[in-house]
Amino acid sequence: MLPSEILKKIRRIEIRTKRLVNDLFSGEYHSTFKGQGMEFEEVRQYEPGDDIRLIDWNVTARTGYPHIKKFREERELSVVLLVDASSSGRFGTRERFKSETAAELGALLAFSAIKNNDKVGLIIFTDQIEKFVPPRKGRGHVLRLIREILFFEPKRTGTDVAGALEYLNRVVRRKSVVFLISDFLSEDFHRPLQVANRRHDLIAVKISDPRESRFDDVGLIELEDAETGEVYVIDTGSKEFRREYAARADEDLGRLEREFRLINLDFINIRTDQPYIKPLIAFFRSRERRL
């Protein structure tokens, strides 16, 4: 039995994200993500204006009247949330931790998927694979995924994006829509990223906190690296430090964006101090225009 405070938190996320799905995202999702192909439905008599390339010549010859094949979109998709649960996700200096933002995003995407009758699965990773939940349908399944993202206790603290992508490519055989949700504080994942992007419809979602790129002048502060445990004392009163810190963060983000563009990988940049609705809608509409 889950504690009441956990159930309340899950319920709050469900209410908030389902409202967004109903009001904003369901239509955007449906327009953006297409099915895996076209499925034959029936043969019907030709009508003026029909595409002559769809004429079924066997039925036409047998009946003496022109008939065409009618197809419908094979709509059902599999969506996989590939979620980074490393210790750096338990960081947040504004409204919520990065891990809480990841849970809300996951819920929003999952509810959008099941509203369109698609399946949703989950892979949680650190520097090892922590949890795999195969794609399924239904509200109860989505609530389980939210619970796992929010309250799963990983065994490890580091981040291995490459290992997570390699695991995805092994266990998810069917082409799927994959949202890789991470802060991307990892190295050497370019090659697995390329492979996964060819096999699946992969979207990178970077979640960051403003303190990871900028510091206010608050004097000497002590910081602990959540993944390594190392402790640093930094002087935020130094203009030179703040300038170099911001420049390095901008350079890292620019390098990541260039790497994604190089392989035509969609990228959504989410910050914990800003609403995620605007960048998500911008992504959906940009994708729809390219289709």
Across 130-150, average pLDDT: 90
Q: What does pTM read for this prediction? A: 0.78
64-88: per-residue pLDDT in tens? Answer: 889 888 765 555 789 999 999 987 7
- Residue 93 confidence (pLDDT): 55
- Residue 123 confidence (pLDDT): 97
6-24: per-residue pLDDT in tens? Answer: 778 778 888 878 778 877 6
Q: How confident is the model at residue 103 (pLDDT cuts 50, 70, 90)?
A: confident
- Asked whether the predicted pLDDT for residue 91 surpasses 60, the reply is no
Q: Which amino acid is at 218?
A: V
23-49: per-residue pLDDT in tens? Answer: 767 677 777 776 555 555 678 888 887
